[in-house]
Amino acid sequence: MTSILLLSVLILIPFVGSVVVGFGFAKNYDRPVAIAVSGLQMILLVYLVSIFQVGGGFQFQESARWIDLSLGVLGHFSSRYALGMDGLSLPLVLLTGLISFIALWNSKEIKEKTAAYYGLVLLMNASLMGCFLAQDMFLFYVFFEFMLLPMYFLIGIWGGPRRQYASLKFFIYTLVGSLFILIVMLGISMAYIDPYETAVLNGWVREGQNFDLEALLAVQKAISAGEIPKHLLVHSFDISALSDVNNCLPGSIFSPNSGWLLGGMSGRAWGFWLLFIGFAIKLPLVPLHTWLPDAHVEAPTPISVLLAGVLLKIGAYGWLRMTIPFFFQEALQYAIVMSILGALSIIFGAYNALAMKDLKKLVAYSSVSHMGFVLMGIAAFNVEGWQGALFQLISHGILSALLFLMVGAIYTRTGDRNVDSYSGLAKMMPRFTLISGIAMFASLGLPGFSGFIGEFFSLMGSFTSVYVQPGVAVFGAFGILLGAGYLLWTFQKVYLGPVFLRDTTWNMSDISLLETISMYSLGILSILLGVFPGKLFQISEAFVLQWMNQIN
């Protein structure tokens, strides 16, 4: 196998697995086959990490012609099946593989329609991998839309009593976000030119020939001067082409000098906000977050693990891969607004978590709060902030998965998630209490855990940034105190104090071997990242410095 096919195989493994399991070919071995498929994917991921060159750009790239369409007098449209992995996508791809494996492993409680369940989880994994690896926006959008269906059915079929309401709300919210992204894509499709494909069409370079900086500048100069006839221009969704404003046609709605205004905002400002909101729904960002608590409460535990651990990260990834690179000047212009929204999410999520008695809702609102730190770090537009935001994405993925596994362990024994229904679990479940303590102390940002590193550098970036007001940074930092409040209160109420069970027939046995391995592995990983954060910073360094150099 050549390295040029590895990323396609990474997506193909779970996709083929979903077909085999979902259509009943595995018969009574749905769960073992699904776990084996996910394990095979993890082995490939470990190999990719071992050969990944830290400090480089995109690696293991694949590119093949996919859609070529003549638009007549408007030119040509091209979309490629293009995949690549860099310092932004590698940690998220690793997180996807790990959390998917843990979610599948902890799906023993699923007893009905198991073939469909495991098939949909594997299909979700393939879609997420595609989103993080796509280098063409059209290809990304296909994976992004495809991702909605598995989660809709996983909540709607295997969820709780209000599963239909929760799944429909999730679908509608995400569909609205997709519509905003689609609107920008339609505008971009006619506003931007792919310089390489245009050079090939005009015969200036041959297919596969090296396209250096001099050739790129020559094509961009010809585009700017209007020297290339419209019918010889090639429009595409190549992310690298869309990240360079010099590829934008003069006079188009997204041209910096177009003069087009709507409601006092330029076309580029509208493009930025539509993309920003489209991905903010997925994060989710206050006030677009209301679908998340309902989805978590109704979803089975393994799906909550997958939803919080990986799916939410698509929102921040979309900001970093597309929204900010496509509309870089606009992002800097509105950085103060972004930071305020981030701080608001931190405080609002934490205050709601303080009021929650349902453990799942408490963890869901804590996710809203922790994702606010990600936006605060991004809005800082400095190295500390972006590194902190990326670290927080991975840390939250690990810790939120651990917290939902913790809630699931209690729920399977009691059928009750109300914090007032039990206390003194430390005396009955010592192993479970230890890992729960690790999860909660790590989530509140105690030094020595991954949560501290992510929050510290996100806030450090905010306090040192010229784009974030000091008052906003202080307001966001107050969320750490609130986080400590609801997490310590929960730990004290549920685990410490006198033993109490609302129903004395509950069997409060300590966590099983499977639960112990799952939870403790995530807890140990959080400690390792908290003690040795440098490796993750090294992986993302090249990506962060690339964009920080543009600011400087």
Q: Which amino acid is at 474?
A: V
Distance in angstroms (rounded) separating the CA atoms of residues 109 and 470: 48
Integer angstrom CA distances of residue 476 from 346, 367, 473, 483:
6, 15, 5, 11
Contact 251, 258 (CB under 8 A): yes
Q: Per DSSP, what are the bridge partners of residue 79?
A: 67
Integer angstrom CA distances of residue 263 from 266, 267, 269, 360, 448:
8, 10, 11, 41, 49
Query: What pLDDT does residue 443 have?
Result: 94
Contact 156, 164 (CB under 8 A): yes
Q: Which of 465, 540, 472 is nearest to 92 (CA)?
A: 540
At residue 24, φ and ψ (nearest 5 deg) are: 80, 10
Distance in angstroms (rounded) separating the CA atoms of residues 186 and 188: 6
Cα dihedral 215, 217, 218, 220, rounded to 10, equals: 120
Integer angstrom CA distances of residue 186 from 153, 221, 428:
29, 24, 59
Nearby residues of 344 by Cβ (< 8 Å), 6 or more positions away: 286, 372
Query: What pLDDT does residue 264 have?
Result: 87
Query: What pLDDT does residue 552 have?
Result: 67
Going by the DSSP 8-state scheme, the letter that residue 207 receives in this structure is T
Contact 113, 156 (CB under 8 A): no
Query: What pLDDT does residue 18 have?
Result: 96
Distance in angstroms (rounded) separating the CA atoms of residues 376 and 386: 9
Distance of CA 424 to the CA centre of its chain: 36
Contact 94, 293 (CB under 8 A): no
Query: What pLDDT does residue 2 have?
Result: 43
Cα dihedral 469, 471, 476, 481, rounded to 10, equals: 150
Q: Which of 1, 122, 99 is nearest to 51 (CA)?
A: 1
- Name the 3-class secondary structure at 260: coil
Integer angstrom CA distances of residue 273 from 19, 312, 396, 403:
38, 19, 25, 33
Walking along the chain (552 residues) 10 residues at a time, the average pLDDT comes out as 76 96 89 96 95 89 90 89 95 97 94 94 96 96 93 93 93 94 92 90 82 85 87 91 90 86 90 96 92 92 94 95 94 96 96 93 95 96 96 96 95 92 93 95 93 95 93 93 93 91 90 95 96 94 90 72
Cα dihedral 400, 402, 408, 414, rounded to 10, equals: -110
Q: How far apart are the first and last CA of the chain?
A: 42
- Exposed/middle/buried for residue 165 (C-beta within 10 Å: 0-12, 13-18, 19+): middle
- From the CA atom positions of the chain, what is the Rg in Å? 24
Query: What pLDDT does residue 417 have?
Result: 92
Count of CB atoms within 10 A of residue 446's CB? 15
- Name the 3-class secondary structure at 245: helix
Tokens representing 101 are 């494996």
Tokens representing 103 are 């979610």
